[in-house]
Amino acid sequence: MGAAGHTGRFVVAELRRRGITPIACGRGTDLDSALRAADAVINCAGPFAATAMPVIESAIGAGIPYLDVTAELEVVTDTFASYAGASIPIVPAAAFYGGLGDLLATAAMDDWPVADHLTIAYALSSWRPTPGTRATGKVSAQRRDGRRIAYTGHRMQFRPGDPPRTEWTFPAPVGTQPVIGEFTMADSATIPTHLDTPEISTYMTANAVDDLRAPDPSGPAAVDGRGRSAQTFLVEVVAQSQGVRRRAVASGQDIYAVTAPLVVEAATRILAGAGDAAGVASIGARFDAKDLLRSLSPEDLTPVFHASGPRSDS
C-alpha cells in the first residue's frame, strides 16, 4: 500500500531485488481483493493515522501478516492497544524511525533484563522531507496539540515549552554536534513494549531539525542509481545499567531508502516462519536484533555493537 510514494518505491525495488513480485496498491486499489492474492502487506501510505487501521482490518480479513513504516508514535501505541489479540502478525514501524532504534536498543541491552536509562541519538547530515513526512508531522502535531512528548517515568508524558538544546558526541566521523533533546520518535513507542526501562532520552542533530522546520523544505534529491539522496545518518543507542554502558550504532545513507531493507527483511523472516507470532510485536521484539542488523547489506547499513565501557573499546 502506498507503493507509488517515495518510500513505497524503495520498498517495491527492494522486493524486486530479492526476487519477490510486488502487488503495487494505491488509493484506487480494491484492497480486500489485492490482499487476498498476497502473502503479506507492507503499508507505506502515510499519514498512518488514516491508513493503518483500514489496512490492518483488510490484512486480518485476508489472513496475512501486516507490516508498516509509520513514524507516528501515537499510531504505534493505538495499534498495540487495538490489535494485541489479532489473528495475524502485525509489525508497526519496521522502519528507520521505530524499527532501527528498537533493534539497536535490543542489541545494546543484550542480556540485561532492565536498563536504568536508554538514549537514542540521531545524526542526520540533512533532512529534506517528502510530502508524506510533512503531512505526517502536521497530523502528529495536531494530535499532540502542539506539545512535545517524552518517555519518562515508564510512560509518555507531554512537555510544554521549547525543547532542550545541548550537544552530543557521536562516534567518528560525526563527532560532537549541537542536538535538540526530546525529539521523540516511534522508537520511544516500540521499545517500551518489550524492553524494561523507565527513561528514554532522545536527541536529533539541530541541523536536521532546522531543515525539517524550514518554511518550504525541498524533498530528497536522488544522487545514485538506486534513487538515494546524499543524506547520511548515524543512530547511536546507549543503554545504562548500574553505571555500566552498552552501545549499538548504525550508519548508512538515506533514511527513506534504508527503511526498505528493514521492512522487507522483517516480512521475509515472518514468511519464513521466524518471529511470526500472531498479535502486535515490534521488529526488535520479534527477531534476533543483532542477526537482523548484520544480515543487511553493508551498502544499506553498517551496525557496530560495543559490549560495555568507553567509546575507545570499539
Contact residues toward ligand NAP (CB under 6 A) are: 2, 4-8, 26-27, 44-48, 50-51, 69-71, 93, 95-98, 130-133, 136, 186, 255-256, 259
Rounded Cα gap, residues 293 and 108, in angstroms: 12
Work out the number of other CB atoms within 10 angstroms of the CB of residue 299. Answer: 14
Q: Select 246 or 266, whichever has its Cβ closest to ligand NAP.
A: 266
CA 66 to chain centre: 15
- What is the side-by-side order of every strand in the sheet holding 66-68? 41-43, 66-68, 89-91, 279-280
- Tell me how far, at minimum, the Cβ of 30 lies from ligand NAP, in Å: 13
Q: Residue 28 or residue 113: which is nearer to ligand NAP going by CB?
A: 28
CA 208 – CA 229 distance, rounded (Å): 14
Of residues 280, 121, 108, the one with CA closest to residue 197: 108
How many CB atoms neighbour CB 164 within 10 A? 15
What cell numbers appear for 29 in the block?
486499489
Nearest distance from residue 173's CB to ligand NAP, in Å? 23
Closest distance of CB 112 from ligand NAP, Å: 26
CB of 308 to ligand NAP, least distance (A): 29
CB nearer ligand NAP, residue 66 or residue 256: 256
Report the residue number, 7 or 58, with the smaller CB distance to ligand NAP: 7
- By beta-carbon proximity to ligand NAP, the closer residue of 186 and 245 is 186
Smallest gap from Cβ 243 to ligand NAP, in A, equals 32
